[in-house]
């Protein structure tokens, strides 16, 4: 789809604030002058058919794996945890493993019970054996006996071969039977037609998809179908890699991502404490 005008944005993003500057000047990436009011609380939502209620603000853990300093990265994650963030989406590949290690370290250091968190990771492997090898490494990095969700990473192809014997889906079912994962998910940066086919072929528990004013292809058929199937729908890339801050505020972009019926959680990629502040303000109000 083409780019979205400000008028279009306000029409689609029900509940979004479209009447001026909410979190500083558009395009201003400097830290806000004050920390958010801690009395505010993140809203929660029933997450598809998982039976879980989760805060609507999650944490996309790709950027956190690219920071040079472990302590800085862990402190950013701990700040998000202190604000009530409990959904962390990482991957075997992020930061060559640093993302998973840092997420695990932050959760362990937080002193909060593991059961209070929803940790999702991913594998790009298509065969059973290779996928299970990656899961073992991911669990070791995360310092966890299980992850809440293990996801097929970045579907761009015809999904039908995934559901044959000896493939990653079989690996996921084996891991779930063994208690090493709780839920099975699938992600895609593009190709909504392939994602539609995937959730028609297999009862996934959650999906991770992009949504922003310039990425609206999942609004048409996919999100309504996911809602009908009661899938947990998680949004990534709400900021368009930062390019959208020229026209929209953090609050507008996160509210846009959360506004469609059937969407549950948004996971912006964050790599600074002030970004955690802004995201918290935007979602907690």
Catalytic residues: 94
CA distance 203 to 39: 39
CA distance 59 to 88: 5
Give the list of residues 6+ apart from residue 237 with CB closer than 8 angstroms, or none.
60, 189, 210, 211, 212, 215, 269
271 contacts 63 by C-beta, under 8 angstroms? yes
CA distance 113 to 108: 8
> What count of other Cβ atoms lies within 10 Å of the Cβ of residue 237?
22
């Amino acid at each position: 789809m083409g780019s979205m005008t400000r008028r279009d944005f306000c029409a689609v993003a029900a509940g979004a604030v479209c009447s001026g500057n909410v979190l500083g000047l558009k395009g201003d990436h400097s830290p806000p002058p004050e920390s958010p009011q801690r009395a505010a609380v993140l809203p929660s939502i029933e997450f598809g058919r998982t039976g879980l209620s989760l805060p609507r603000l999650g944490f996309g853990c790709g950027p956190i794996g690219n920071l040079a300093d472990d302590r800085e990265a862990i402190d950013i994650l701990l700040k998000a945890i202190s604000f009530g963030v409990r959904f962390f989406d990482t991957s075997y590949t992020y930061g060559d493993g640093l993302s998973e290690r840092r997420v695990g370290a932050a959760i362990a250091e937080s002193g909060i019970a593991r059961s209070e968190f929803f940790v999702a990771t991913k594998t790009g492997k298509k065969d059973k054996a290779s996928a299970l090898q990656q899961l073992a490494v991911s669990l070791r990095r995360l310092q966890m006996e299980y992850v809440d969700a293990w996801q097929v990473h970045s579907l761009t192809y015809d999904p039908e071969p995934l559901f044959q014997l000896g493939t990653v889906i079989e690996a996921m079912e084996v891991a779930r039977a063994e208690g090493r994962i709780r839920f099975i998910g699938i992600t895609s940066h593009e190709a909504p037609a392939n994602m539609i086919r995937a959730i028609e072929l297999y009862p996934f528990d959650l999906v991770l998809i992009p949504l922003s004013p310039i990425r609206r292809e999942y609004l048409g058929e996919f999100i309504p179908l996911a809602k009908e199937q009661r899938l947990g729908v998680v949004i990534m890339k709400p900021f368009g890699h930062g390019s959208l801050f020229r026209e929209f505020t953090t609050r507008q972009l996160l509210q846009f991502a959360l506004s469609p019926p059937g969407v549950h959680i948004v996971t912006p990629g964050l790599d600074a404490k002030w970004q955690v502040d802004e995201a918290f303000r935007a979602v907690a109000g």
